[in-house]
Amino acid sequence: ISVTVMNPSGVWLNGAVSQMFHLMAVVCLACVVLKAIQLYWRKRKLLKIFKSFPGPPTHWLYGHLQMLQQEDELDNTASWAEKYPHCHPVWLGGFLVFLWINHPEYAKAVYIGSDLTSSFALCSSIGQGLLILNGPKWFQHRRLLTPGFHYDILKSYVTMMADSVHVMLDKWEQLITQEKSVELFEHVSLMTLDSIMKSAFSYQSNCQTDRSVPGDEQGEGWGSEGGGEWKGRGVEGAGLGCPQSLLLVPFRDDFGKMTYTTMCIKETLRLYPPVPAIARELSAPVTFVDGRTLPKGLTTCLYYSLQVFDPLRFSPENSAERHSYAFLPFAAGPRNCIGQQFAMNEMKVALALTLLRFEFSPDPAKPPIKIPQAILRSKNGIHLHLKKLQ
């Protein structure tokens, strides 16, 4: 005969643990249900707000993410801009929505009619620069940095920019072959990094020739230096990386004024914007020209549509008739790019010196594959055939 003696304290302990796990499960379930209810009401609120803003069909869960993650994203967004010429919502999933703006009057209402805050979701590793700061701290930093980008100061950087460009061009001479094209984006990225380090920090990085310099492969880690909102190598690097500006500038320009070259640069920035989407969070309600409104807290996104490359659209006579908010490669309003004149100067210097030494032709076997990220880039680089001018 065997006798089993139960420990009353052990039975009580097991029961207490069981009740605790049961309570935790109930609490977790309640939190999930509460969150689901919150998301449901948020979705209903957003649908009500954007009811007057028609847009492309959306998936109930993914929104437009599947179309935005394809290689032809820019083509998709261009077709949306044609179908919805003023603006349209874009859903990033089922509960996050932006109003994408395709019309200058809408852009004007956003940049003038409301105090704006940055809405960049960037990793904290870049630091608290102008790009992601808001409020009084942003204003203080902006005011401190603005004198450093005065026109007279920028003029003194031209010689340093030219030195960096010459180093890049000397490297290209060593890479010229009859058969193979040259991938230029890495070289341009290093050149802009070198130029920024010399101009903004008085530092001789030698990043174009010394392969041991940290981050020299793509200039990573330096793109947000100099105040955050100064796009650094993002604007001039991506701008110079677009083949249109190199291939379609004829040798009939006056390099003193660089009128036609400037037109080509602007058209390249319009067709292939280095920062393809400029997002801003509304800190106050905005009413658009047609009476439709957006409340405080929503995010707008200025996006550019693609058209035929035509530098003459920036001729003086054509520019005179253009809406002042129809071309915003450096954004507008108080949060515009603080380094836009620096970027334009560097692109002009680089193009002028490059076209005096080389002719370019595209590599039909390796056309650029556009991938819009923080800046517009080519998935496979920029491959061009180089021919040295005698």
Say whether both 86 and 210 belong to one domain.
Answer: no
Backbone angles phi, psi at 57, to 5 degrees: -55, 145
Query: Any idea which of 13-17, 154-158, 171-175 has the lowest mean pLDDT?
Result: 13-17
The arithmetic mean of pLDDT across residues 355-381, rounded, is: 87
Q: Do the domain assignments include residue 233?
A: yes
What is the count of structural domains for the chain?
3
112 vs 144, which has greater pLDDT? 144
- Residue 293: helix, strand or coil by DSSP? strand
Q: Do the domain assignments include residue 19?
A: yes
Residues that constitute the known binding site: 337
Q: Do the domain assignments include residue 26?
A: yes
Say whether both 249 and 355 belong to one domain.
Answer: yes
Query: Which domain does 22 fall in, by range?
Result: 1-52
Q: What is the pLDDT of residue 224?
A: 33
Q: Do the domain assignments include residue 330?
A: no
In sequence order, what are the beta bridge partners of 378?
A: 370
Residues that constitute the known binding site for heme: 337
Dump pLDDT digits (tens) for 43-79: 999 999 999 999 999 988 899 988 877 666 667 777 8
CA–CA distance, 282 with 296 (Å, rounded to integer): 5
Confidence of residue 201 (pLDDT cuts 50, 70, 90): confident
Say whether both 257 and 290 belong to one domain.
Answer: no
Dump pLDDT digits (tens) for 270-298: 888 888 888 888 888 999 999 999 999 88
Confidence of residue 205 (pLDDT cuts 50, 70, 90): confident
pLDDT at 118 over 90: no
Q: What is the pLDDT of residue 113?
A: 61
Say whether both 39 and 57 belong to one domain.
Answer: no
Q: What is the pLDDT of residue 8?
A: 56
Say whether both 259 and 365 belong to one domain.
Answer: yes
Say whether both 245 and 345 belong to one domain.
Answer: yes
Greatest CA separation for the chain: 112
Q: What is the pLDDT of residue 230?
A: 34
- Residue 105: helix, strand or coil by DSSP? helix
Q: What is the pLDDT of residue 246?
A: 55
Q: What is the pLDDT of residue 217?
A: 43
Q: What is the pLDDT of residue 53?
A: 95
360 vs 164, which has greater pLDDT? 164
Q: Do the domain assignments include residue 326?
A: no
Sign of the torsion formed by the C-alpha atoms of 119, 124, 130 and 135: positive
The arithmetic mean of pLDDT across residues 233-252, rounded, is: 53
The arithmetic mean of pLDDT across residues 289-313, rounded, is: 86
Q: What is the pLDDT of residue 349?
A: 92
Average pLDDT, the chain: 81
Say how far residue 352 (Cα) sits from the centre of its chain.
Answer: 26
The arithmetic mean of pLDDT across residues 19-27, rounded, is: 87
Say whether both 46 and 144 belong to one domain.
Answer: no
The arithmetic mean of pLDDT across residues 117-136, rounded, is: 63
Say whether both 305 and 165 belong to one domain.
Answer: no
Confidence of residue 11 (pLDDT cuts 50, 70, 90): low
pLDDT at 151 over 90: no
What secondary structure does DSSP assign to 351-389, as a single string? HHHHHTTEEEEE-TTS---EEESSSEEETT--EEEEEE-
Query: Any idea which of 145-149, 215-219, 334-338 has the lowest mean pLDDT?
Result: 215-219
Say whether both 93 and 234 belong to one domain.
Answer: no
Share of the chain above pLDDT 70, in %: 78
Dump pLDDT digits (tens) for 338-365: 999 999 999 999 998 998 899 989 999 9
Say whether both 75 and 144 belong to one domain.
Answer: yes
Beta-carbon contacts of 212 under 8 Å, excluding residues fewer than 6 positions away, are none
- Residue 288: helix, strand or coil by DSSP? coil
Sign of the torsion formed by the C-alpha atoms of 346, 263, 327 and 149: positive
Confidence of residue 231 (pLDDT cuts 50, 70, 90): very low
pLDDT at 331 over 60: yes
Dump pLDDT digits (tens) for 173-193: 998 876 789 999 999 999 999
CA–CA distance, 6 with 4 (Å, rounded to integer): 6
Q: Do the domain assignments include residue 125?
A: yes
Say whether both 284 and 346 belong to one domain.
Answer: no
CA–CA distance, 257 with 262 (Å, rounded to integer): 9
Q: What is the pLDDT of residue 44?
A: 93
Q: Do the domain assignments include residue 289?
A: yes
Q: Do the domain assignments include residue 328?
A: no
Assess contact for 195 and 161: CB atoms under 8 A. Answer: yes
pLDDT at 161 over 80: yes
Query: Any idea which of 3-17, 92-106, 228-242, 245-259 has the lowest mean pLDDT?
Result: 228-242
Say whether both 212 and 284 belong to one domain.
Answer: no
pLDDT at 125 over 60: no
Backbone angles phi, psi at 278, to 5 degrees: -110, 105
